[in-house]
Structure 1
């Protein structure tokens, strides 16, 4: 028990205490958290150094490329098209996007600060989802140029994984979430957990 009388046990640990097999569920959530964290961290690394997977080296951030300009300047329709075109390639948008990718990736991999990571990931992914609206666009040949599901695509799934990771204390399994939660400044400001 903490000084506030609340237990630090996760929902999965409460289930485990009742005899249900939650160790497997906790490990599955930890793997999902770490894998999703690596997706965010990889996007940061590829955009920074231009490994050639989605960002060629000549368009990398360290080579003077903008991580937001290509994506945001090509928003063709949607409720925020003008806004996205206005911020495409601006220094503040590039820095916010890249720090977001790095922070979310590191937080998910290490299992710390998952509440902030969840809110940040959900916001970032929601904005990227809106930027690609409408999602199920088709070329003149009838082939889909992107997602074929107009409601749920990978942006929504990544945001949901971050939220589920925070809500289930997934950072306590194969992560540093438990130690992070015991730090004095995190105990003082629990929204940092």
Structure 2
């Protein structure tokens, strides 16, 4: 009699345990996605301001790509457009005349690989930031790009190689540094969620399993 009653009870206990453990295993990936996509800034006003900052910062990179590609007449004329055979890096790097990296800048100015890397970086960072996807990769790539541009201009020097004033207004913090800090801030605050595609991007299988792509 005791054996007869003990067996169903043990079986019932095992089935209950299984039913309790199964939802945890099946729902864990969904929870991971929600946690990774959860806003780190909860104020609605702050998140909207960050979204506007995201659009503005991304557009700086995207506009530079479009202007240098098609020669829209702002910083690049039509005849110097990349689309018409011009070099996106020759003008900037070729004119560097201050700092310890001037020789390196002159050497790589106008090379095909420098042009392609520069333009792909502008396009990739601009599109990703404006769309609110891959914010961390975009932030690191964009920050590295502007840091290299800062090093090329080298605002620490007050005079050029010919002794003329360099025009530097701040020896350390210029707009390149601000752009880099803005990109890192946008990534750290999950700014791609508000008015962006971050939630959908982070649910993609590969992206969900690799946090560095968020």
Q: Name the TM tier (shorter chain).
A: 0.7 to 0.9
What corresponds to 1:42 in structure 2? Answer: 63
- 1:86 CA displacement: 1.2
| Larger radius of gyration between Structure 1 and Structure 2 | 2
> Helix, strand or coil: the match of 2:29?
coil
1:146-175 deviation line (CA, Å, top 9, x unaligned)? 441121111111111111111000000010
1:28 aligns with 2:28: no
2: distance between equivalents of 1:2 and 1:117?
28
Give the secondary-structure state (helix, strand or coil) at the position aligned to 1:178: helix
After TM superposition, the score normalised by the length of structure 2 is 0.79
Q: Please, which runs of 5 or more residues in structure 1 have no aligned partner?
A: 17-21
Taking structure 1 as the reference length, the TM-score comes to 0.87
SS of aligned partner of 1:3:
helix
Q: Are 1:97 and 2:118 counterparts?
A: yes
1:3 is aligned to 2:29:
yes
Within-5 A mapping of 1:27-176: 27-134=48-155, 137=158, 146-176=167-197
State how far apart, in whole Å, the 2-side matches of 1:5 and 1:169 are: 17
- Corresponding residue for residue 19 of structure 1: none
Give unpaired runs (5+ residues) of structure 2.
Answer: 1-26
Give the whole-Å Cα distance in 2 for the aligned partners of 1:2 and 1:33: 31
Q: For 1:170, what is the secondary structure of its paired residue?
A: coil
- Larger fraction in helix: 2
